[in-house]
Amino acid sequence: MLIDGYEINEGVVEVVRGIRRNGFKTCICSNNFPARINGLQKRFSFLDDFDAITLSYEVGATKPSPKIFQDLIFKAGVKPEEIALADDNEYNLIGAKEAGIQAFFYNGFEKFLKELKESGVNW
């Protein structure tokens, strides 16, 4: 039940892959739990599209803790201000912003794409 309700959004996949083709690193930072992450990876291989993967259960900290964002910055190998991060929970953005990351509230895919372009990310 944790996995069966999910489907791949091909528009999202194309944006992520396009970002990588244009020389940007793609990152994921999630508070999700191992059974869901592992099940989704087994079904969709979604983590294969990301250069830096930060998972709360591996780091021992959840968003909005600055610790999880420091791990993301380290794994991405870029300056914090070079990361554009979106989250659908505004509370989670607090730690990202404290770490110097460009963080914005996810409020729909079209708005997300606009925010990415405004931050200099192209696909």
For position 105, which CATH number holds? 3.40.50.1000
Whole-angstrom CA distances from 82 to 1, 4, 26, 34, 113 are 37, 35, 11, 28, 17
Q: What amino acid occupies position 98?
A: E
Q: How far apart are CA 6 and CA 2, in angstroms?
A: 8
Per-residue pLDDT of the chain (123 residues; tens, 9 = 90+): 679 889 999 999 999 999 999 999 999 999 999 999 999 999 999 999 999 999 999 999 999 999 999 999 999 999 999 999 999 999 999 999 999 999 999 999 999 999 999 989 989
Whole-angstrom CA distances from 96 to 59, 67, 72, 88, 106 are 15, 9, 10, 13, 14
Residue 1 lies in a domain: no
What pLDDT is attached to residue 99?
A: 96
pTM above 0.85, yes or no: yes
36: containing domain? 10-118
Residue 107 lies in a domain: yes
Query: Looking at the 3D structure of the chain, how many domains does it have?
Result: 1
What pLDDT is attached to residue 2?
A: 74
Residue 4 lies in a domain: no
Q: Within 10 A of 40 (CB to CB), how many other CB atoms are there?
A: 17
* Angle of helix 109-118 versus helix 10-21 axis, rounded to 10: 10
Residue 46 lies in a domain: yes
Residue 2 lies in a domain: no
Residue 5 lies in a domain: no
76 close to 100: Cβ distance less than 8 angstroms:
no
31 close to 63: Cβ distance less than 8 angstroms:
yes
